[in-house]
Copies of this chain bind each other. A is one copy, B any other.
Amino acid sequence: MVSHETACILNTSDEEAHIVLLIYFSDRHPAGPYQISIPPRRTKHIRFNNLEDPEPIPKDTDYASVFSSDVPVIVQHSRLDSRQPENALLTTIAYSE
């Protein structure tokens, strides 16, 4: 089993959402910006391990993510952490307006 983190983004508006994702670390400058687009009235799942442009996210490092969007979207972030003997599932909802 490998760790995976995903973000589910919901755009309920009638316009395409253009999202900028930044990844923060404890010991280096932030990674990104990653560009994500969501069509109007659609959802999109982002798998952090699949992010590659401008750089992949280091696999064994803790990080935090911040989404900025030009239209209001809802971001639900889930983490299944296999590095701990107990599986840690973190889920959070953030509103960007």
Contact = CB atoms under 8 A, between A and B. Distances in A.
Interface string A70-81: 000010101010
Contacts of A80: 84, 86, 88
B8 A24 contact: no
Q: Is the interface of A mostly helix, strand, loop or mixed?
A: strand
Contacts of A74: 64
Contacts of A45: 26, 62
A5 to B, nearest CB: 12
Interface string A27-62: 101100000000001111100000000000000001
Interface residues of A, number: 35
B26 A43 contact: yes
Closest 5 CB pairs of A and B: A10-B64, A90-B91, A43-B64, A26-B43, A24-B43
